[in-house]
Chain A
Amino acid sequence: MTWLPISVGGQGERDAVLGVHTEVYARHRVFLEACAAAIDPDLLALCRARIAQILHCREELALHSPDLLAELKSWERSPSFTALQRNALEFVEQFVLDPSLVSRELVVDLEREFGTSGTIDFTTVIAAFEASLRLSTLLDLEPAT
């Protein structure tokens, strides 16, 4: 439950808390929707789950299956992920921790899969969702029921 003294009423905690600024909340959702439409939905779900694990974002973690989350914890050793997914996960981990330390090799690997424009868009999408998960985690938003 969020630590902010905001009355939730009958709505979800996310809507109640972020919705105190109706216009900005709406614009943020539209931005995230545009981001979600820009890359493969399965890959995005995987990246969001991994970001949620790194940040301990309980609102996002609740959206993913326990089996997936267990596999993701040791994705380097798991045979369940494709080369593309591995490249993406490696990039995402470094990006979340310190984007300036993302190596040229990591970017080249992504570029081979997505092309130059696709890599730039992928990076923007990851930044958008990472920021959103940081927001949720800091405010300790309750998972949707």
Chain B
Amino acid sequence: MTLPKINVVPLAPGQDAALYLNSLTDQRLVGTYMEFYVAALGLPPHDLELVELLRIRNGVAQSCQYCLSVRTEEGGNLAEEATHCVMQFESSDLSEPRKAALRLAAAFLELPSELTQEARDEALKHFTPEEIVGLMFRLTSFLVNKPRAALGIDGALDPDRLTRIGSGDIDKFMPQNRPRLE
């Protein structure tokens, strides 16, 4: 559990950090973001386990405890070890397409201008341009987790075990004209 760096009530044990920060944010921003996020769910490639690996990789990059404490049901059955795997992917037994996608993700999250020609070529060997843009749009949508880490409104959903979340949970994040909590 992290303590907020901002003047808000700290998270209660077991409270959902993402929902809490959403409730404190301008609902127009939340609403337009969620529309973008939901639209991006349908993008190719339709390898949902790969998308889950990218989501976890982003969680590591931002030190987002919330992101790392959950697994999406659509993303297969990735265990705790996936967090290590996305960082050490070059020496992992992941497939070459997944390694190529994780190379793009690593550059995106670190220094995107330093993506090598070799990494570009590998990506184009395994994915169509539409799939590459799709993967990068998905990563773009994941970066909205950064305010959680920056403001200290973060924390594992359950500190003792991974929590599975499904597509039905998305509705909870829709603003539905809720007023902002003050």
Interface, chain A (partner B; CB < 8 A): 3-6, 17-18, 20-21, 23-24, 27-28, 30-31, 33-35, 37-38, 55-57, 95, 98-100, 102-104, 107-108, 111, 116-117, 119-121, 123-125, 127-128, 130-132, 134-135, 137-140
Q: Is B166 an interface residue (CB 8 A)?
A: no
In the complex, are the beta carbons of A55 and B112 less than 8 A apart? yes
What CA separation (Å) do A35 and B33 show in the bound complex? 9
Check: B115 CB closer than 8 A to any chain A CB. yes
**Contact between chains at A111 and B6 (CB < 8 Å):** yes
Contact A128 B150 (CB under 8 A): no
Given contacts A28-B140, A31-B36, 8 further A-B contacts (CB under 8 A): A5-B124, A31-B32, A55-B111, A120-B151, A124-B33, A130-B146, A134-B143, A140-B113
16 pairs across A/B with beta carbons < 8 Å?
A4-B124, A4-B132, A21-B43, A27-B36, A31-B33, A103-B5, A111-B6, A120-B21, A120-B147, A124-B29, A124-B147, A125-B29, A130-B143, A130-B146, A134-B108, A139-B136
B126 contacts chain A at the CB level, 8 A cutoff: no
B182 near A24: Cβ-Cβ < 8 Å: no
Q: Which residues of B contact A23 (CB under 8 A)?
A: 39
Q: CB-defined interface of B70-81 with A at 8 Å, one 1/0 digit per residue?
A: 000000000000
Given contact pairs A123-B151, A134-B140, A30 touches B182 in the complex (Cβ within 8 A)? no
The CA-CA distance from A20 to B132 in the complex, in Å, is: 11
Task: Give the contacts of B77-113 with A (CB-CB under 8 A).
Answer: 104, 107-109, 111-113
- Least CB distance from B42 to A in Å reads 8
**In the bound complex, do residue A99 and residue B146 qualify as a contact, i.e. CB atoms below 8 Å apart?**
yes
Docked pose: A21 CA to B133 CA in angstroms: 8
* A117 contacts B129, C-beta separation under 8 Å: no
List B contacts of A35 (CB < 8 A): 29
The answer to whether B149 and A20 have CB atoms under 8 Å apart is no
Contact at B104–A138, with CB atoms within 8 Å? yes
Q: Are B150 and A135 in contact (CB under 8 A)?
A: no
Chain B residues numbered 11-70 whose CB sits less than 8 Å from any CB in chain A: 21, 24-26, 28-29, 31-33, 35-36, 39-40, 43, 62-63
